[in-house]
Amino acid sequence: MGGRDPPKGLGRCDGATERHTVPNTAAEAPCRKSAPASAALKRSESMPHTYMLDTNVFNDIVEGRATVARLLPIDGILVVTHIQRDELEATRDEARRERLRTVYGEIAPTRAPTESSIWEISRWDEAEWPSAGGLFDQMLTALDAKEAKPSSKRDILIAETAIRCGHVLVSRDSALRELVEEFGGRAIDARSND
């Protein structure tokens, strides 16, 4: 269930030029953590777009509401964090969990570390220490004001990573998409033609 390799020259970075790989992952994902969200979204014409898939995208594919072909842009890299994989593995229905694993394997997304870490949620070898500026806390407060739910912290780990790394978030969750856009990121619904 590995990921696909990013194009040459794109790598996980914490600074302007430093390159780091993520332990225990099949590939590394592009990120520019030090850049502000608006700067992270500015890409050169030669750089492919990267799309952070929310967990609900995998469910939508299994249920026939979205297709793998729709999620495979010619110029794009599909990215997930350990959060999405952990949520898929937590599916109680064994047959459904197997279908989700199959879809995950077909998509073969690149794995990226989360840009913050939370006790009892984060995998420490696949998460960064929270950066100064408190983006995670600001986003969590804003999301909880709109729609408090048990998965809010996991959702924000995914959304914050998408923003900080310049990934377009692909999600059915309209509140999360709106929040990403409010904080300077880009988000689309996999089921629409956005």
The full set of domains in the chain, from first to last, is 37-188 (3.40.50.1010)
Q: Containing H/E element for 78?
A: strand 76-80
Length of the chain equals 194
Average pLDDT, the chain: 76
The answer for residues whose C-beta is within 8 angstroms of residue 21's C-beta and 6 or more apart is 11, 12, 28
C-alpha closest to that of 182 among 143, 130, 155, 133 = 143
The pLDDT of residue 130 is: 74
The residue behind tokens 């969750």 is: 173
Q: How confident is the model at residue 23 (pLDDT cuts 50, 70, 90)?
A: very low
The residue behind tokens 């990921």 is: 3
**Least confident stretch, 3-17, 117-131, 170-184:** 3-17
The residue behind tokens 């249920």 is: 63
More confident residue, 35 or 80: 80
Rounded Cα gap, residues 165 and 90, in angstroms: 26
Q: How confident is the model at residue 39 (pLDDT cuts 50, 70, 90)?
A: very low
Beta bridge partners, 79, equal 52, 110
SS3 content of the chain, % helix, strand, coil (to 5): 40, 10, 50
As given in the structure block, the two tokens for residue 167 are 């990934």
Asked if 31 and 139 touch (Cβ cutoff 8 Å), the reply is no
The pLDDT of residue 10 is: 33
| The one-letter amino acid at 100 | L
The pLDDT of residue 71 is: 63
Give the pLDDT confidence of 140-182 residue by residue, as tens digits. Answer: 999 989 888 888 999 999 999 999 999 999 999 999 999 999 9
